[in-house]
Structure 1
Amino acid sequence: MYWIAVLTLTPMIVSYTWADLDIYRGKLCRSHLGYHENVQDFRQYSCAWCFRFVFHLKYRPLVNSTGPTPVVYIFHNGGRVRFESMDFRNQSVKADVCDVLTSDECHQWTSCCESAERCCQRQLSVEKKGTNSSCGRVWDGWLCWDDAEPGTRSYGSCPLFMPFFTPSRQAFRTCQTNGEWITRTDYNPCIKKEELETTLFIGLGCSIASLVALVPALLIFLKYRSLRKQHRIRLHINLFLSFLLKEVMDILWDMLVTYDKVTSTTVFETTLMQNGVGCKLLSFLKIYFKCCTYTWMFCEGFYLHRLMSNAFSPPRSLKVMYVFGWAAPLLSSTLYGILRGVLNNESCWTFSYERLEWIFDAPNVLFLFLNLVFLSNILRILLTQMQTHPNEPGNFRRAVKATFILIPLFGIHRFFTLYRIPISQEGGHEYEKVSVIISHTQGLFVSMIFCFLNGEVISNIKRSIRHGRSRSLSTSKRLNQTDQQTLSIRSEYDVGKNGDQCYKSLIVPTEGKDEMELKEKSTNGSLLHNGPHGET
């Protein structure tokens, strides 16, 4: 009897041991219901629950998971509809399910199923991290969650197949200290679209303010030859132009893509979900001009640092900077665009993919750190000059003023936005609004400081105003002289008309002849009449 029991229980123990080992090694796909024996089983259950979670308000679906395959019941047109299978890869099953849905709803359901399938593939391909006490990878019905350590919180971008959800918002799921996930994922940050609209309008207002300042600043620099022939002004022109183009791209993206996704009730008719060529081109230009701002800020810092450290040999030409300022961002942006188009060409590249964004983010961060080094060395030079002339009044004030002036020009304030606090954390919304203001008002501040408050610009504008006034005065004098001459001519004409130096010819009838020429001439007030017989 003992041997019989051993032989009976051993296969069961071995099977459970191998199952536990497969679970630990990540060889089984896991949903919120638990682990699934194979990919097909996971697909059936994940699609059934996708239907349940996506349409829980409209169709009130019920899922029966007691059988070998889940069965879904919905209420449609006053009756109950039953689906025996939810395998979206089966075309007949997909046609039956989508027959009761609208085209947009069908896309929502299949997109959720595809996300679940990708999550299963990810669970099978990625090695397990942590220990057995950590929270395991899981598909919760909308999002895929990786392994997490106990007592931590994980964040995931809101799913785009849901109405009003955008990738800039994040849901979160908490791993408890006992190594178990909290039952429900918190999707509240995804559904608060009013907060996102507020942030969008704040960014829009700041971008418009920057454009209002940048456009006249560029026109002023280009108008005056005495300004545009200076190297530093030429650098300012390129920097201002990069800011202007960046703000234009941001406005177009926020209004045409993000705001459209936030306000549209049809998910897959939005610009973001249609994933057209125009949307991806706009995404590429947005990335490119953003990188251009960092490159030109670096050019400004490099040029000023060279002037301060070696004032007797300033650069004679800026051709190298022109090429570097516009071509270097083009290389990194183009490389990123090619890789995204090949590896993950979805959703207008709004989601981060395998940290590819470091292709252009790494140079941007490097430029910021180099500008910080330049600023520190410039301050060192200024402080050294202060020590050389300790009795010179106002040295310290000038050094502090130079520091605050150069911060927006070098982009030092952007260090504040390098690390993004998750929107779901405490203070996340406030940080988001502050970072939006910092990002979109840099053009406003640099145009105010380096153009409208610049002494050379002010003197040129005043000179133009004086020239304009003098031209208007000379024009008015010429008009007055012309008017006086016209009045003088008219008065002389009027006097002659009254008998002073005036000749008239009149034809009057007479008795002896058909006509008689009467000539009158005014000379010293006397009139001479020549009659028909020459009598006087």
Structure 2
Amino acid sequence: MSSMLDDLIYKRGEYQENCTRFLKATLPTGTGTFCNGTFDVFACWPHSSPGIVSVPCPPYLPWIKEGATGNVYKECTVNGTWKTEENSSSVWRNQSECENHSFFKSEEEEVFRQSVLRVLSIVGYSLSFSSLCLAVLIMSLLRKLHCTRNYIHMNLFVSFIFRATAVITKEVILQVTYTNLPRDELGWNSYTKSAASKVSLEYFVGCNYFWLLVEAIFLHTLLFTAVLTRKRLLKKYMIIGWGTPLLFVIPWTVAKTLYENKSCWLNNIRWIWWIIRGPITLSVIVIFCIFLKIIRLLLSKLKADQLKFTDYRDSLVRATLVLIPLLGIHEIVFTIIIDESVEGSHRYARNFVHLTLSSFQVRKLLVSPLPTQRNL
């Protein structure tokens, strides 16, 4: 829809420029009464003698195809002015032949479905935002919880907070933008150019994924190495979590500015989108590999402890359920099933599940026991 709006604005601009040149070239030189030609925001009207004036429907309208026979009408009065509507200063115009009320019916249904997803995501992120703010506050105030492991958890929670804030801000901006239509030419020409909220969203989403990666790396270090100077590692983790996303968000921003600066940056040329998707996909794959390695270690420990089958199964399930939300393991599914691989209702179902897990999963972290070496 945003791409169609971009095309419409561009073609309408061309139509207006051609109209201006046409009116200058056909300016009447003789005497007599006539109405001045004009572009009235909708159609181009030539300099006309008194009477009913008709021009073809503007070709920039997306439902007007080449060879269409519809016309739009105005009336030039004997006084040399365009007829106005009754009890109004607005110029009368009959454009009924140029209207198509059913053209956007399928798009309107899609907009409704997407609105449901947006509301769901806003509700989920709002609940997560409030819960995580409380969690960070408690962990900050209680000195007994101050350690490298909990500092990493706090940074992960903060990345979720920033992600939730960026998502909610973007939705508010889009809602305001697409409900308050411009009233002048300058407003329409710059209507779909706001992109700051999109850049901040992509940065904080990237930070969120890389803090999940830091959680996985730290847990791996905790279980598989004998590193005792974990405080020194915290600075490196901070660089990975908050600094690494800049390495791909900045090039993506430059590429979008140069090659795709339209549609509030909601559309994506595939190669540009992979500037961001590539590093995030790689981080998800690394997290998944670490997850499998931890599960393998857990299996070996459980076998060594010679637990009963019931205890063995319960311990494995409990540890797995803790690790899945903590490390964002569900993202591996959506890394494989990308938007381009599904269409129609399947894409809607995919986005519904993804948005639900992404917006509500952080609340699971708050009620799950944080894994330690003793737990595993």
Q: Shorter-chain TM-score: what band?
A: 0.5 to 0.7
Larger radius of gyration: 1
TM-score by length of 2: 0.68
Listed one character per residue, the Cα deviations across residues 350-385 of structure 1 (whole Å, up to 9, x for unaligned) are 111352111111110101000110010001111111
CA distance in 2, matches of 1:239, 1:444: 13
**Does 2:201 correspond to 1:286?**
yes
**What amino acid is aligned across from residue 409 of structure 1 in structure 2?**
L
**Does 2:355 correspond to 1:436?**
yes
**Does 2:298 correspond to 1:382?**
yes
- 2:325 corresponds in structure 1 to 408
CA distance in 2, matches of 1:397, 1:198: 37
CA distance in 1, matches of 2:192, 2:161: 26
CA distance in 1, matches of 2:158, 2:23: 51
- 2:256 corresponds in structure 1 to 340
Task: Out of 397-406 and 215-224, give the one that drifted further.
Answer: 397-406
- Name the structure with the higher helix share: 2
- 1:64 corresponds in structure 2 to none
- Total equivalences in the alignment: 296
Contact 2:152 2:215 in 1 (8 A): yes
Query: Post-superposition shift, 1:417?
Result: 2.9
Gaps of 5+ in 1: 1-45, 52-84, 103-108, 117-138, 143-185, 455-536
Query: Post-superposition shift, 1:440?
Result: 1.1
Counterpart pick for 2:242 among 323, 326, 345: 326
**Does 2:179 correspond to 1:260?**
no
**What amino acid is aligned across from residue 99 of structure 1 in structure 2?**
D
Higher relative contact order at CA 8 Å, sep ≥6: structure 1 or structure 2?
A: 2
- 1:246 corresponds in structure 2 to 163
Query: Post-superposition shift, 1:398?
Result: 2.0
- 2:277 corresponds in structure 1 to 361
Contact 2:182 2:188 in 1 (8 A): no
Aligned counterparts, 1:87-98, within 5 A:
88-89=17-18, 91-93=20-22, 98=39
Cα gap change, 1:390/1:272 in structure 2, threshold over 3 Å: closer, same or farther?
A: farther
CA distance in 2, matches of 1:339, 1:424: 27
CA distance in 2, matches of 1:292, 1:373: 20
CA distance in 1, matches of 2:203, 2:224: 31
CA distance in 1, matches of 2:323, 2:118: 28
CA distance in 1, matches of 2:223, 2:237: 18
Contact 1:256 1:271 in 2 (8 A): no
Cα gap change, 1:212/1:271 in structure 2, threshold over 3 Å: closer, same or farther?
A: farther
What is the DSSP-based 3-state SS (H/G/I as helix, E as strand, rest coil) of the residue aligned with 1:357?
helix
Contact 1:301 1:375 in 2 (8 A): yes
Cα gap change, 1:189/1:305 in structure 2, threshold over 3 Å: closer, same or farther?
A: farther
Query: Post-superposition shift, 1:274?
Result: 2.3
**Does 2:161 correspond to 1:220?**
no
Listed one character per residue, the Cα deviations across residues 403-460 of structure 1 (whole Å, up to 9, x for unaligned) are 1111111111123333127886234333332222112112222233257x99xxxxxx
Contact 1:264 1:270 in 2 (8 A): no
CA distance in 2, matches of 1:86, 1:227: 66
Listed one character per residue, the Cα deviations across residues 142-177 of structure 1 (whole Å, up to 9, x for unaligned) are 9xxxxxxxxxxxxxxxxxxxxxxxxxxxxxxxxxxx
Query: Post-superposition shift, 1:269?
Result: 9.0
Counterpart pick for 2:154 among 218, 237, 247: 237
CA distance in 1, matches of 2:204, 2:246: 9
Cα gap change, 1:441/1:225 in structure 2, threshold over 3 Å: closer, same or farther?
A: same
Contact 1:421 1:431 in 2 (8 A): no
TM-score by length of 1: 0.49
Listed one character per residue, the Cα deviations across residues 379-403 of structure 1 (whole Å, up to 9, x for unaligned) are 1111111121214783432222111
**What amino acid is aligned across from residue 382 of structure 1 in structure 2?**
L
Counterpart pick for 1:211 among 111, 129, 133: 129
CA distance in 2, matches of 1:233, 1:271: 49
What is the DSSP-based 3-state SS (H/G/I as helix, E as strand, rest coil) of the residue aligned with 1:426?
helix
Query: Post-superposition shift, 1:290?
Result: 0.5
Cα gap change, 1:222/1:264 in structure 2, threshold over 3 Å: closer, same or farther?
A: same
CA distance in 2, matches of 1:391, 1:100: 79
- Name the structure with the higher strand share: 1
CA distance in 1, matches of 2:142, 2:171: 35
Query: Post-superposition shift, 1:315?
Result: 3.0
Gaps of 5+ in 2: 1-6, 25-36, 44-57, 67-102
Query: Post-superposition shift, 1:335?
Result: 1.3
Root mean square deviation, CA, Å: 3.7
Aligned counterparts, 1:10-409, within 5 A:
88-89=17-18, 91-93=20-22, 98-99=39-40, 101=42, 112=60, 188-192=105-109, 193-228=111-146, 230-257=147-174, 259-260=175-176, 263-264=179-180, 274-276=191-193, 279-311=194-226, 313=228, 315-317=230-232, 318-391=234-307, 394-409=311-326
**What amino acid is aligned across from residue 197 of structure 1 in structure 2?**
S
**What amino acid is aligned across from residue 151 of structure 2 in structure 1?**
R
Contact 2:326 2:365 in 1 (8 A): yes
Contact 1:275 1:346 in 2 (8 A): yes
Aligned counterparts, 1:481-500, within 5 A:
none
- 1:509 corresponds in structure 2 to none
- 1:449 corresponds in structure 2 to 368
What is the DSSP-based 3-state SS (H/G/I as helix, E as strand, rest coil) of the residue aligned with 1:101?
coil
**What amino acid is aligned across from residue 91 of structure 1 in structure 2?**
T
CA distance in 1, matches of 2:231, 2:282: 26
Contact 1:298 1:410 in 2 (8 A): yes
What is the DSSP-based 3-state SS (H/G/I as helix, E as strand, rest coil) of the residue aligned with 1:274?
coil
Query: Post-superposition shift, 1:187?
Result: 5.7
What is the DSSP-based 3-state SS (H/G/I as helix, E as strand, rest coil) of the residue aligned with 2:201?
helix
CA distance in 1, matches of 2:189, 2:19: 27
CA distance in 1, matches of 2:256, 2:166: 19
CA distance in 2, matches of 1:322, 1:90: 58
CA distance in 1, matches of 2:300, 2:18: 73
Contact 2:221 2:227 in 1 (8 A): no
Contact 1:210 1:443 in 2 (8 A): yes
Contact 1:344 1:353 in 2 (8 A): yes
